[in-house]
Amino acid sequence: MNSLIISISTYSRHKQKESEYAMKKIALFPGSFDPFTKGHEDIVLRGLKIFDEIIIAIGYNSQKKRYFEIDEMVEKIKSCFSSYNNIKVDKYTELTATYANKHRAEYLLRGLRNTTDFEYENTIAMINKDLYDGLETVFLITSPKFAFISSTIIREVHSYGGDIRKYIPYTL
């Protein structure tokens, strides 16, 4: 009889955990993050007001050659959010929609600096929705103080020996 009570109790705790997990709003913040900037950090921190958990996922973009090593960037981003247990950092080599589905993320978090970003991101959002029907894309407008920062410009400044410390939330 005692083992039946323990089994029922264990089953109930397991179902409760499963239910809590299913109710969590998990967002995937995908990108090449080459490098991860203060603008990206701002989107993640503001996203925490909407989502219970955010997965920052660095994808391999077949169209781009990386400037900063991907494993180094994973570690740098992890260091930025080490005090947050609801932010995870990972890398992936598959479709973003597939990765989101595997990790039970029902939302993609994206930042928009301007209308050009919107045109590109809107197209990507539609294909991701088509690939994974339960996936919604949430756009946050970049905070004005970070709107001029782009990874491309930061790489260019760095490649010529310029100081990029004020644009990134970690040290190189």
Annotated active-site residue 113? The verdict is yes
Average pLDDT, the chain: 90
Annotated active-site residue 151? The verdict is yes
Does residue 55 lie in a domain region?
Answer: yes
Cα separations in angstroms, 118 against 10, 106, 111, 114: 48, 20, 9, 7
Amino acid 154: pLDDT: 97
Catalytic residue among 32, 38, 40, 76: 40
Note the pLDDT tens digit of each residue in 86-144.
999 999 999 999 999 999 999 999 999 999 999 999 999 999 999 999 999 999 999 99
CB 168 within 8 A of CB 36: yes
Q: Tell whether the model's pLDDT for residue 29 goes beyond 70.
A: yes
Domain limits for position 161: 24-167
Annotated active-site residue 40? The verdict is yes
Does residue 7 lie in a domain region?
Answer: no
pLDDT band with cut points at 50, 70 and 90 for residue 18: low
Amino acid 4: pLDDT: 44
Q: What is the pTM of this model?
A: 0.85
**What total number of domains does the chain contain?**
1
Does residue 100 lie in a domain region?
Answer: yes
**Higher-scoring residue by pLDDT: 52, 13:** 52
Catalytic residue among 113, 129, 155, 158: 113
Spatial distance between the Cα atoms of 149 and 166, rounded to a whole number of angstroms? 10
Spatial distance between the Cα atoms of 65 and 26, rounded to a whole number of angstroms? 29
Q: What is the CATH number of the domain that holds 44?
A: 3.40.50.620
Does residue 19 lie in a domain region?
Answer: no
